[in-house]
Structure 1
Amino acid sequence: MRILVILLLCLLQISCASQKFEKINGVSFVASREKVGQQQVKEILKIHANHAAVMPFGFIREINSPNIVFDTERQWFGETKSGAKQYIEMLHKNGVRVMLKPQIWIWRGVFTGSLEMQSEKDWKALEESYEKFLMAYARLAEETNTELLCIGTELERFVKNRPVFWKNLIQEIRSVYTGKLTYAANWDEYTKTTFWEDIDFIGIDAYFPLSEERTPSVEQLRAGWKKHKEKMSAFSLEKNRPVIFTEYGYRSMDYTAKKPWLVDRNDENVNLEGQVNAKKAIFEEFWGENWFAGGYVWKWFIHHDRAGGENDNRFTPQNKPAQLVISDFYKMY
């Protein structure tokens, strides 16, 4: 049985290699109040990024509310359709390919994976609202020749409860958009997502717990990846789809790999070494694998000169030692 699994994995490597896709060396380009200019895009090029995720937003009032509000005058420019279009056009002008990634924000930052309706009427209303939201951006993606469209981000309960809706939505998107599709599943959600065979990439927001050390070494982090990586490679084989990390990243703080998904305002000490080691480990483990298509680092702010810095314990690698690690590995691949 073990020999058979090894042979199947080898066949997957050959199959994925034959697709000859260039590694996605991406950044998650955070929406701003303003238009993006040439100087902001140049900062992406300096780290050898060839992809960027553009992320317009829709807003939901409560965890059980079915109404998505999007593309309004009250939103920041980069969160709207016109803003997303301007970002895409500037990125394309510079040879940077794009994943358009429309996202939902629930008031007060409630986790989107817990979005769940309490009645069939509300589920139907949510489906109608979400379809309107996604189709608007599917048409924008086609209009702008955007290379990749992400059809949802971390919507576990919505996906679990309404599988027929998602199948039908994918067909409708395909009727207007000719590019590639993915979905951004949370790290503990992707094996339960029901429609990978209907889209082109298995998308994972890769906040896997790897180590409980204050400052884990690269070796400790690579050991922490072992079980997750084996599971992902086998899953990629099963579904015959390459994996992309629709988000990956680590905060520059103590215990960064213990619960990498934390977005709170905690006061953990700034730890630049931990962020560097975590970045090195993920590149060394994944970027050389043929079944792995690349990923988008979380996150990259438009105003580079004001972002991050050595006193910042947040996710962005900007103006920190981790930025050089990303640049070196992106240049290599």
Structure 2
Amino acid sequence: MRQIFYFLLCFIVFSCAAAKYKPTKINGVSFVAARDVIDQTHTQPIISINANAAAIMPFGFLKDVNHPKIIHNTDRQWFGETRAGAKQYIETLHKDQIEVMIKPQIWIWHGEFTGFLKMNSEADWKLLETSYTNFILAYAELAEELNVEMFCIGTELEEFVKNRPAYWHQLIKEIRTIYTGKLTYAANWDEFWTTPFWPELDYIGIDAYFPVSDMQTPTVEDCIKGWEKHKPGLKAFSEKLNRPIVFTEYGYRSVDYTGREPWRYDRSMTSVNLTAQQNATQALFEAVWNEEWFAGGYLWKWFINHNDAGGLEDNQFTPQNKPVEQIIKAHYKNAL
């Protein structure tokens, strides 16, 4: 009898050891910074859609794409954009067992694209690097203090990365001396191929605004077909670097042609198309979420005051109080 038990135990142990580890998917939201503190009335709607993670996004500000000094953590910012606000948000989310990624972001006045951030002189590059290091390390320290699960070292900074690769390699080393959790970077969907430091991070992070359909109201089938143009490259890239891919942002506006240029947020697109948002989101879930190379993602975007957000007349990214919210809820329930 003892021998039978021993062999059974060995079988179980070795079978488990041989099985491929499948981590829990990140079923996340991008939790937008606001003026106020939050409590569990603000986190409950996240739990209600079965999300298990949230990105917290403190902000730094620049005057223009050639300006080297980042203004951050001031009393002129909204509470949620500051270090104290990020801390309060994280502590509240952690109380509800929601994992957190801190994703510090830069806002350039007039909404200029951060990917174009580029200095005109070596002196200005040095000033920018010093300013960015101070900005990032302040939140790396916070991430370590609060046992934050993931830290994002930057968001859509293509020209900065391309022109100053040595700086970024050194910055990652500095972050590693402070923060012991998982690291990623949020590369734009057409930028990540050339980002030079993925081997030094834990995840390949992509803001996943891949074009998937030219239809005014894309069907689920058409968007799935659109994803087939991107998936082989994503899979091969993940395997080459031996790193999982996380969508540091993903989502679609409830607007006509939402799958054609999903990154667009300008006010010139005035239609409201809830079906387009539903279908494009459903297709992303069906096409990508169960792939082994894919670690999950953070939905763009989720506002703290749920009852006042989104709605049937809203054509922006948020899924709140729109039909697509139920699609997300159902998918996140089954994708844990």
TM > 0.5 fold call: yes
Deviation readout 1:75-134 (Å, 9 max, x if unpaired): 000000000000000000000000000000000110000000001111111111000100
Matched letter for residue 121 of structure 2: S
Please list, as runs of the form range in 1=range in 2, the aligned pairs for 1:117-136 lying within 5 A after superposition. 117-136=119-138
* Partner residue, 1:53: 55
Q: Which amino acid aligns with 2:236?
A: A
Which protein shows a greater Rg? 2
Gap regions ≥5 residues in structure 2 = 1-18
Indicate the residue corresponding to 2:199 in structure 1: 197
State the match for 2:145 in structure 1. 143
1:163 — aligned with what? 165
Show the counterpart of 2:33: 31
Q: CA deviation at 1:287?
A: 1.1
Residue of structure 2 in register with 1:299 after alignment: 301
- Paired residue total: 317
Q: Which moved more, 1:193-202 or 1:268-277?
A: 268-277
Identity over aligned pairs, percent? 61
Give the 3 Å change call, closer, same or farther, for CA 94–259 of structure 1 in structure 2.
same
Letter in 2 for 1:57: F
- 1:32-68 Cα shifts (integer Å, max 9, x gaps): 0000111110000000000000000000111101100
Once the two structures are superposed, residues 173-230 of structure 1 have per-residue CA deviations (whole angstroms, 9 ceiling, x without a partner) of 0001000000000000000100000000000000011111100110100011111111
Displacement after TM superposition at 1:290 (Å): 1.2
Q: Which residue does 2:260 correspond to in 1?
A: 258
The alpha carbon displacement at 1:266 in A equals 2.1
Query: Secondary structure in 2 aligned to 1:227?
Result: coil
2:249: which partner in 1? 247
* 2:5 counterpart residue number: none
CA distance in 2, matches of 1:180, 1:196: 12
In the other structure, the counterpart of 1:74 is 76
Give 1:13's aligned residue. Answer: none
Give the distance between the partners of 1:235 and 1:328, measured in 2 at CA: 30
Work out which of the residue numbers 172, 175, 179 in structure 1 matches 2:174.
172
Give the gaps of 5 or more residues in structure 1: 1-16
Q: Could you tell me how far apart the structure 1 residues matched to 2:159 and 2:65 are?
A: 11
One-letter amino acid matched to 1:125: L
Corresponding position: 1:188 with 2:195: no
Question: Given residue 286 of structure 1, which amino acid in structure 2 is its aligned partner?
Answer: V
Task: Find the aligned partners of 1:72 and 1:302 in 2 and give their Cα distance.
Answer: 21
Q: CA RMSD in A?
A: 0.8
1:288 correspondence with 2:290: yes
Deviation of 1:19 (Å)? 4.6
Distance 1:260 1:62 in 2: 24
Distance 2:110 2:194 in 1: 27
**Aligned partners of 1:304 and 1:44: how far apart in 2?**
9
Q: Given the alignment of the two structures, is residue 99 of structure 1 paired with residue 101 of structure 2, yes or no?
A: yes
Q: Which amino acid aligns with 1:79?
A: E
Equivalent position of 1:277 in the other structure: 279
